[in-house]
A and B are shown apart, each in its own frame.
Chain A
Amino acid sequence: MQSHAEEKSSTLKAVSQRVPLWRDVVVIKWVTQIGLLAVVVASLWFLAGQAGDNLRARNINTGFDFLERPPDIQLSEGIDTSPATGGRALWVGMVNTLRMAVVGIIFATVLGVVVGLARLSNNWLIKRLAGLWIETLRNVPLLVQMIFYFAVLTALPRVSLESGPINGWLHVSNKGISMPRIFISDGFYQWITVVAVGCLAAFFIRKQRIKKHDLTGENTHAVYWAFFTVCTFALIGLFIHPVFGFVGGIFSALATLFENIPTTLIKVLLSSILIFFAARWIRNFFASRRSATGHLSLIDDDIFRMIFVGAGALIAIIVVVAWTGISSWILNSGRDLFHMLEAKFEVDGAARPFDAMKPDIVKPGKFANYGTNGLTMGPGFAAVFFGVVFYTSAFVAEIIRGGILAVPKGQIEAANAVGLSRGQSLRHIVLPQAIRIILPPMGNQYLNLTKNTSLAIAVGYSDIVQVGQTVYNQTGKSLPVMAIWMLFYLTCSLTISVIVNFYNVRMKIVER
């Protein structure tokens, strides 16, 4: 036994201890990574240096001062067609893009669901038509479709004073499509406050009804009750909304408060929030790596992560403290927000929440055009709108069809077996399962739609890309404008994917 142990230790000793650096897997791993990082950073550095030299040689200045200068731009449509500054012009472009994206998402979803269900219909003709719709629209590039719709719209008859709106309601011409417009007017914000109170009431009523249902088992129609409550409040609100005029005073007080907070306070607040989060992260991190007996085992990746978080927090704090602009921007925008809200509520009691107007036609110069009364889609807007809606609807339809077909037949049979009606099984069995399959690709389509609105540049709709191009053609500031584009779209994409992920996670929890 003794000799045995000796022999063992001699075997162990015979093995060499030092590992040469170039054979050590940990060294290789980190040297490779740092090598790649160095190459990437060096190439970026090199390119940036080149760009800097070239820009200087061509006397191009890359500052953002154009945002404050008056541009010489006329926009085809938007909240402000002759913006006062470059920044304002880009802002109008952003609003236009967002407007198109939101409207497009709503309509594409509705149309896509209809087509998708039609594709599943047991009516032969409807099924074929839906198939034709899908196959044609998704196989022709969106850009070609858009340009085609634009060509069709601009080839329509001229708008003229003589012809007048069709029955005063709908008007289609080479200047686009004009419809009656319902818009919110002065009393709206007070009215919406009433509705908000109604929603709160509906929430409690629904809870009450559900409780009653659970206790007694009778059908209490909780959803209908809630809906009815909201409607009642909305209706009553039309007459009593001026009571909420006092809310304006609260906002005015808040605005004054924001005016008087010193920036240092905000700086301290932001820094403490950052420190708090970083500290909490690191504490949780240590806790997750520590065994029950307090044994801490960190691998090389963990150290890297900690360095990353620590450095990130430090840089963020330095930026917050050193750059007063951030704090004062927060204060100013808070103050402006409350001032704006205050203004919305300070109207006299007779104001209506809504108003409506029919389309009109004016002749400011040589040619007739639509006036501002109607809800007008210019040919650019209409082309982009029909383009993204039709194109996306084809994809959405396929997703809907796939999602519904993916629910196993056995599920429906099981639902029938326990005696659920067709509607009940659809609502409680099929849809919840289908939605889980449908949601992720739908989010993807919404992202695509938002990005696809950028093709508007081909038909002259003033979205952010088109406006940006005009701006840099005039000012030569191509680099800053492109940076703004990228930032804008990245923000949109990130927002949409955060929303979709949120729903995905929720759905999964509900499932379990």
Chain B
Amino acid sequence: MSDNETASSTRRDRDLTNAQDMIVCEGVSKWFGDFQALNGVSATIKEQEVVVVLGPSGSGKSTWIRCINRLEQHQEGRIVVDGVELSNDLRNIEKVRSEVGMVFQMFNLFPHLTVRDNISLAPIWVRKKPRTEAEEQATALLERVGIPEQADKFPGQLSGGQQQRVAIARALAMEPKVMLFDEPTSALDPEMIKEVLDVMKELALSGMTMMVVTHEMGFAKEVADKIMFMEGGQIVEMGTPEHFFTNPTEERTKLFLSQIL
């Protein structure tokens, strides 16, 4: 526990003002038919920054995070990831996809492949690595997320927490510059949540740029560099955890915090 505290404090001390922009969103809007899910979202996420996105259900958190990975297509505004604009350009889409890792709420592991193959499939076929190298990397990643002994099992044979850690390892295997997490712990039992959060903390420490949608306030307080609060498809408030949890400016944020805490 104390270990974690020191870790987070070292993190917060770090100076990010001179870091490069990693994700830039400018006036991003998105409609589902009549319904406007994103309404001019603008935000910048710097390299090595950990951003936690909070907000009530249906506020557009998932939609936004999925736009950054082109799982959804935004209709207005611009999204630039590591200097590459997400547009109709095929090459850009491929590039962004292979630089942005994503972890889903429902894990979405490939049920017909072993854990090892789940992790090494994309490096082999997308990154064009030799098979042996990709499998060594898979073993190393499994060690990193703490389940090296499960390599030859199928996803269906693992617990939820183990599956989510495999999903993280799968995303990491592409050596992404950014990791997106969409409620990675909300499908898990309480005792499994900690093992996944620990992996995420370790990842944050190692300097990964991360964008996390979560309802784990402890994680947000401890690890986040910045917190964004969304409501009705807009970013209502943005700031450091200290600012956000102690004296939020917006009424809506206060209401949300009073309900959650």
Residues of A within 8 A of B (CB): 4, 7-8, 11-12, 14-16, 19-20, 23-28, 288-292, 295, 297
Give residues of chain B (73-128) contacting chain A, Cβ–Cβ below 8 Å. 75, 78, 80, 83-85, 87-91, 93
Interface string of B3-36 (1 = CB under 8 A from A): 0000000000000000001001010000101111
| A12 to B28 Cα, complex, angstroms | 13
A291 in contact with B35 given A12-B24, A12-B78 (CB within 8 Å): yes
Cβ–Cβ contact A23 & B31, under 8 A? no
Asked if B44 is an interface residue, CB under 8 A from chain A, the answer is yes
Known contacts A8-B24, A12-B80, A288-B33; 13 further A-B pairs (Cβ under 8 A): A8-B44, A11-B21, A11-B24, A12-B24, A14-B83, A15-B83, A23-B91, A25-B88, A25-B93, A27-B88, A291-B34, A292-B34, A295-B31
Q: How many residues of B contact A (CB 8 A)?
A: 21
Q: A12-B80, A23-B91, A24-B89 known; A7 and B31 CB under 8 Å?
A: no
Q: Which residues of chain A are within 8 angstroms of B90 by Cβ–Cβ distance?
A: 23-25, 28
Contact check, A8 vs B34: say whether CB atoms are below 8 A apart: no
- With A12-B78, A23-B89, A25-B93 as known contacts, state yes or no: A291 contacts B31, CB within 8 Å: yes
- Shortest Cβ distance from B85 into A: residue: A15
Establish whether residues A19 and B89, one from each chain, have CB atoms under 8 Å apart when the complex forms. Answer: yes
| B88 engages A290 (CB within 8 Å) | no
Question: What is the distance, in angstroms, from A78's C-beta to the closest C-beta of chain B?
Answer: 55
Please report the C-alpha to C-alpha distance between residue A23 and residue B85 in the assembled complex, in whole angstroms.
14
Verify B26–A12 contact, CB threshold 8 A. Answer: yes
Which secondary structure dominates chain B's binding surface? strand
- Name, among A16, A24, A25, A26, the residue most crowded by chain B CB atoms within 10 Å (CB to CB): A25
Contacts of A289 in B (CB 8 A): 33
> Is the Cβ of A7 less than 8 Å from the Cβ of B33?
no
User: What would be 29 A-B contacts, judged by CB atoms less than 8 Å apart?
Assistant: A7-B21, A8-B21, A8-B24, A11-B80, A11-B83, A12-B26, A12-B80, A15-B84, A19-B87, A19-B88, A19-B89, A20-B89, A23-B89, A23-B90, A24-B89, A24-B90, A25-B89, A25-B90, A25-B93, A28-B90, A289-B33, A290-B34, A291-B34, A291-B35, A291-B36, A292-B34, A295-B31, A297-B31, A297-B75
In the complex, A505 Cα to B33 Cα: how many Å? 25
Q: Which residues of B contact A12 (CB under 8 A)?
A: 24, 26, 78, 80, 85
Our pick among B34, B75, B80, B88 for the contact of A15 (Cβ within 8 Å) is: B80
Q: Which of B16-68 contact A (CB under 8 A)?
A: 21, 24, 26, 31, 33-36, 44
- The answer to whether B84 and A24 have CB atoms under 8 Å apart is no
Residues of A within 8 A of B31 (CB): 291, 295, 297
Q: How far is the CA of A28 from the CA of B90 in the complex (A)?
A: 9
Closest to A20 in B: B89
B147 to chain A, nearest CB (A): 37
What's the minimum C-beta distance from A27 to chain B, rounded to whole angstroms?
Answer: 8
List, in ascending order, chain B residues with CB within 8 A of A23's CB: 89-91
Would A24 and B75 count as touching, CB distance under 8 A? Answer: no
**A295 CA to B75 CA in the complex, in Å?**
12
Residues of A within 8 A of B83 (CB): 11, 14-15
A295 contacts across to B, CB distance below 8 A:
31, 34
Select from chain A the residue with minimum beta-carbon distance to B90: A23
Chain A contacts of B44 at CB under 8 A?
4, 8
What is the CA–CA distance of A28 and B87 in the complex, to the nearest angstrom?
14
With both beta carbons as reference points, the residue of chain A lying nearest to B44 in the complex is identified as A8
Specify which chain B residues have a CB less than 8 angstroms from the CB of A292 in the assembled complex. 34
| Nearest chain A CB to B238 CB, angstrom units | 13
State A297–B29 Cα separation when bound (angstroms). 12
* 6 nearest CB pairs, A to B: A291-B34, A15-B85, A19-B89, A23-B90, A24-B88, A25-B88
**Residues of chain B within 8 A of A7, CB atoms compared:** 21
* Chain A residues within 8 Å of B75, by CB: 297
CA distance A111 to B91 in the complex (A): 62
Of the residues A14, A26, A297, contact of B88 by C-beta under 8 Å: A26
Contacts of B91 in A (CB 8 A): 23
User: How far, in angstroms, from A379 to B119 measured CA to CA in the complex?
Assistant: 66
Of the candidates B21, B33, B88, the one whose C-beta lies within 8 Å of that of A291 is B33
Most chain A CB atoms below 10 A, which of B26, B34, B83, B89: B34
Residue of A7, A20, A297 contacting most chain B CB atoms (<10 Å): A297
Which residues from B are CB-within-8-Å of A14?
83
State in angstroms the CA–CA spacing of A4 and B45 once bound together. 12
Task: For A19, list chain B residues within 8 Å (CB).
Answer: 87-89
Chain A residues with Cβ below 8 Å from B84 are: 15
Q: Name A287's closest neighbour in chain B (CB-CB).
A: B34
Nearest-Cβ distance from residue B251 to partner chain A, whole angstroms = 24
Q: How far is the CB of B255 from chain A (nearest CB, A)?
A: 25
CB neighbours (8 Å) of B35 from chain A are 291
A26-B90 Cα distance, complex, nearest whole Å: 9
* Most interface-central of A4, A15, A27 (chain B CB within 10 A): A15
- Determine the residue in chain B with the shortest Cβ distance to A9: B26
- Residues of A contacting B78 in the complex (Cβ-Cβ under 8 angstroms): 12
Cα A14 to Cα B80 in complex, Å, equals 10
Residue of A nearest to B17 (CB): A4
Residues of A within 8 A of B80 (CB): 11-12, 15
Please, which residues of chain B bring their CB within 8 A of the CB of A4?
A: 44
* Closest A residue to B21 using CB positions: A11
Bound-state CA distance A15–B34 (Å) is: 31
Q: Which residue of A lies closest to B70 (CB)?
A: A25
